[in-house]
């Protein structure tokens, strides 16, 4: 009998150890984000991370970014099996109110998981799909939408008229859904929009500052009327900047977004109707997602 009780005790002990061992297996694990270059989206929008699995996206959670670029949260606790099955990580911009539970079209960073890490870039095919290394631009100062020849330095047009006939001044890749380009003239530190656009060979979506005469079929604006508070039109853009930004659609702010692939100084001695070049500004956010 003693031997039987001993065998029974050993069986119970083995069962208990096995049961406890299975029960103690972790069911969750942290996803850690290390991202630099993001900006504060304001009161109405947030960033949201997504794991992309074979059967669809799974949210990893939302976070904000302060004025210094610091993420409000970098660790997100997730189901360990879901995390292990993820093929990609995607970062989107989402409205805080009235949001669809699926990812928005505004994909800003993405990367494939290689082992336990995903290198995040805007150039990944699940984000903007381009690193903008081939982007280039030209512009002129002119005011074709009025007949006053004394204010020609108060308009910026992204075109090239060096051949005698105007052609597109911008060479930019086609953007995916969720994004638009926007032109800007910056004067005295104040950015003034020249309009959003998706094609470099057509008029943009804004002409509120321009005069009443016809404008060239290219992105651009004359700064002649309806001046914003604190600005007087017409103004001389000499010594300012010409900028092309990439903006979320819908846009989170009336100010230029952090993605600005083309930025050029407007010379202080700029000449109207003369072609100038905008340089590349490929300072984009990057990071990693680690599981």
d(CA 191, CA 215) in angstroms, rounded, equals 21
- What pLDDT is recorded for position 38? 98
User: Can you give the chain as a three-state secondary structure string?
Assistant: CHHHHHHHHHHHHHHHHHHHHHHCCCCEEEEEEEEECCCCCCCCEEEEEEEEECCEEEEEEEECECCCCCECCCEEEEEHHHHHHCCEEEEEEEECCCCCCCCCCCEEEEEEEECCEEEEECCCCCCCCCCCCCCEEEEEECCCCCCCCCCHHHEEECEECCCCCCEECEECCCCCCCEEEEEEEEECCEEEEEEEECCCCCCCCCCCCCCCCCCCCCCEEECCCCCCCCCCCCCCCCCCEEEEEEEECCCCCCCCCCEEEEEEECCCCCCCCCCEEEEECCCCCEEEEEC
* Residue 24: predicted pLDDT: 77
- Rounded to two decimals, the pTM is 0.91
Output the pLDDT for position 21: 44
Mean pLDDT by runs of 10 across the 291 residues of the chain is: 44 40 80 98 97 97 97 98 98 91 96 98 98 98 97 98 96 98 97 98 97 96 97 97 98 97 98 98 98 97
Domain ranges of the chain: 28-129, 136-283
- The per-residue pLDDT for 100 is 83
């Amino acid at each position: 009998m003693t031997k039987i009780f001993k065998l029974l005790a050993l069986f119970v002990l083995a069962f208990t150890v096995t049961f406890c061992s299975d029960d103690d297996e972790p069911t969750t694990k942290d996803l850690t984000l290390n991202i630099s270059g993001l900006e504060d989206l304001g009161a109405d929008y947030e960033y949201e991370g997504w794991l992309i699995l074979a059967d669809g996206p799974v949210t990893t959670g939302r976070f904000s970014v302060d004025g210094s670029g610091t993420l409000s949260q970098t660790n997100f606790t997730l189901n360990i099996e879901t995390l292990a099955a993820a093929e990609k990580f995607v970062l989107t911009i989402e409205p805080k109110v009235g949001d669809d539970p699926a990812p928005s079209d505004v994909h800003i960073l993405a990367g494939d998981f290689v082992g336990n890490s995903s290198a995040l870039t805007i150039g990944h095919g699940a984000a903007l799909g381009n690193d903008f290394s081939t982007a280039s631009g030209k512009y002129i100062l002119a005011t074709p939408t009025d007949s006053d020849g004394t204010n020609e330095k108060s308009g910026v047009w992204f075109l090239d008229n060096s051949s005698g006939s105007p052609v597109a001044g911008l060479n930019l890749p086609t953007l995916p859904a969720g994004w638009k380009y926007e032109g800007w003239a910056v004067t005295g530190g104040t950015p003034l929009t020249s309009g959003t656009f998706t094609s470099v060979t057509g008029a943009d979506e804004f002409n509120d500052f321009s005069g009443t005469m016809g404008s060239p079929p290219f992105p651009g604006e004359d700064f002649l009327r309806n001046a914003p508070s604190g600005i007087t039109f017409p103004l001389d853009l000499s010594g300012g900047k010409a900028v092309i930004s990439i903006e979320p659609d819908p846009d989170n702010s009336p100010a230029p977004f952090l993605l600005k692939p083309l930025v050029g100084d407007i010379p202080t001695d700029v000449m109207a109707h003369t072609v100038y070049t905008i340089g590349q500004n490929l300072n984009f956010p990057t990071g990693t997602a680690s599981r």
